[in-house]
A = this chain, B = another copy of it.
Amino acid sequence: MQTPSKSKKATKLFTSGKKGMPPGSLIYTGKQQSQEIIIEVIHFSKDNHFYESKTITEIQDLDTSQGKYWINIIGLSNVDIIKQVCDKFGIHSLFIEDILNIHQRPKLEVEQDYLYVPFKSFHWNDAEMLLEYEQFSFILLKNVLLTFQEHAGDQFDGLRDRISKVDSVVRNKGLDYLFYRLIDVTVDHYFEAIENIGDHLENLENKILKHPHTEDIGLVQVFNREIMILRRHVFPLREVLFRLSNADHPVLDIQTRKYFLDVLDHTIQVIDTIETYREINFSLRDLQLNTISYEMNRVVKTLTIISTYFIPVTFIVGIYGMNFRYMPELNLRYGYLFVWILMILVVIGLTVYFRRKKWF
């Protein structure tokens, strides 16, 4: 059973990671990594497009008054650099704190000049039977979309490609459309994660119906936990997207609302599926108990039938194993035969009894 390690991960998801610190302390609550921070800048407009890594100094000198900039910061362990990037774009320190705290609930924070949206991507790790997650933070300004992620490698390479193409939709629409696409891609990944769990539930159901095992009992518990974690993170997203699709803010074009509504629609579908799997998982537990009880019933019945047949006849042969001097039956010519007949009658009688009770 790898449950311990899994639940360790699960438990951590719930922690604040910074108990006892004064508010305003900028601390990265994820696993410290030696990894360098990478600042990836994609600049694009109708006519231009470049994609390069920049140092923090270059970022500070960047003039973002023209065109559209997607600045993606990979790695959160260097708190100073995160702070400098945020300061450059005038982000409130409460949000810097939130970016660094990887245990954030999805939310939408509306400031005068920008929007802040943190949320998680999920990936089902089939080898360890657990959901891996990574926190993304999005800050949408007028000309800049800032994104923060913990590790290199993400689900957005398709998008990066499309931006590089002169006639792609994302190249020609605003940053709010890009922002929508990032969220949309992430939500589509939720489907993948939940479908993996769904496949396991299906297998588990078949295994349990055939024969319940201890590891199945543990698995139901594991899925219960992982589904609950996913649920906890997808639920608040509904409100975030609903508010985005109604928001009236300079960085959002009114045309983009329809798209947020579309992601909201997908999110509701994800939530529906999560709820359904949650119920299926619950019912697996009951299925398990019923199957175990049924199987025990069968085992006990076997024991009872065997015992009920043999205990009486064993008693009979015990009688004639006694050593009394005067036992008239022992000297009968057909005594032994009579005992056999008696025992056969007992067996027939019991069979009739069991038949009536419908045990066969």
Q: Taking the complex as formed, is A176 at the interface, i.e. its CB lies under 8 A from any CB of chain B?
A: no
CB distance from A208 to the nearest CB of B (A): 9
Segment of A38-46, A66-74, A139-147, A197-205 engaged in the interface with chain B: A197-205
B335 pairs with A188, CB closer than 8 A = no
User: Which residues 307-349 in A have Cβ within 8 Å of B in the complex?
Assistant: 307-308, 310-315, 317-336, 339
CB distance from A117 to the nearest CB of B (A): 14
User: Which residues 193-233 in A have Cβ within 8 Å of B in the complex?
Assistant: 194-195, 198-199, 202, 205-206, 209, 211-212, 214, 217-218, 220-221, 224-225, 228-229, 232
Contacts A205-B7, A285-B283: A322 and B336 contacting too (C-beta < 8 A)?
yes
Which residue of B has the minimal Cβ distance to A11? Answer: B198
Separation of A279 and B228 alpha carbons in the complex (Å): 9
Which residue of B has the minimal Cβ distance to A301? Answer: B299
A299 pairs with B299, CB closer than 8 A = no
A14 pairs with B276, CB closer than 8 A = yes
User: Which residues 88-107 in A have Cβ within 8 Å of B in the complex?
Assistant: 94, 103, 105, 107
List, in ascending order, chain B residues with CB within 8 A of A293's CB.
289, 292-293, 296
Segment of A48-56, A79-87, A244-252, A261-269 engaged in the interface with chain B: A261-269
Contacts A209-B218, A300-B304: A272 and B310 contacting too (C-beta < 8 A)?
no
Contacts A317-B315, A323-B323: A14 and B198 contacting too (C-beta < 8 A)?
yes
Task: Determine which residue in A8, A11, A302, A324 has the highest number of CB atoms from chain B within 10 A of its CB, and name it.
Answer: A324
Q: Taking the complex as formed, is A127 at the interface, i.e. its CB lies under 8 A from any CB of chain B?
A: no
Separation of A217 and B184 alpha carbons in the complex (Å): 40
A302 pairs with B306, CB closer than 8 A = no
Separation of A116 and B28 alpha carbons in the complex (Å): 35
CB distance from A345 to the nearest CB of B (A): 16
List, in ascending order, chain B residues with CB within 8 A of A169's CB.
24
List, in ascending order, chain B residues with CB within 8 A of A329's CB.
324
A217 pairs with B331, CB closer than 8 A = no
Q: Taking the complex as formed, is A192 at the interface, i.e. its CB lies under 8 A from any CB of chain B?
A: yes
Segment of A15-23, A57-65, A128-136 engaged in the interface with chain B: A15-23
A296 touches which of B202, B300, B336 (Cβ 8 Å): B300
Q: Taking the complex as formed, is A126 at the interface, i.e. its CB lies under 8 A from any CB of chain B?
A: no
